[in-house]
Amino acid sequence: MPKDQRVDPKILSSEIVFEGKIWDIARESFEYNGGTLVREFVKHPGAVAVLAVDEQQRVLLIRQYRHPVRSYLWEIPAGLLDVPGEDRLDAAKRELMEETGYVAERWTKLTDFMTTPGGNDEVITIFLAEGVAHEGHDLELEGEEVDMIKEWFPLSEALASVLASDIQSPSAVVAIMAASHKLGVKAQG
């Protein structure tokens, strides 16, 4: 069975060449295969994402504007690991509540994935949330979250949308495919 393998090359130098609001750009020089390489990459705090599934096997998706790709994307609730010391599951519960007003009785880790390993060290942990209930919240949403739309879709339809490239947000794609496999759901249509 194939399995990714962690490698820790000797780092010769490391510096932050750009400091951003959410992430930084690092430049590192390291020993590799008898030589020295230099690479720049995005240093990211990491994130969590949540696929909420109800008793009818519908998934809760949010439509949110993403400026770099100039598109409204159907996504799953997600957020940065930006609270020092916060456990990933606690972060997922917080993000589900903040973005949707929902809570869940049962939580299962679906998977971890690297978003863009050739240029970014971000790892996202995706959780499956079941036994969901709407509690609401009185949080003031900002930026692109202000006009976010929340909608429930049958998991089979969401999977068909992923396979047709109609849903392209990486965390949604990975979560919908992983949950469909786990729950034995096939694409509708």
Which residues are the active-site residues? 145
- CA 39/CA 173 separation, integer angstroms: 28
Beta-bridge partner residues of 13? 29
- CA 105/CA 89 separation, integer angstroms: 13
- Count Cα atoms within 13 angstroms, Cβ side, for 140: 1
119: amino acid identity, one letter:
G
Q: Which DSSP state fits 142?
A: -
For the chain, the distance separating the N- and C-terminal CA atoms, rounded to the nearest angstrom, is: 32
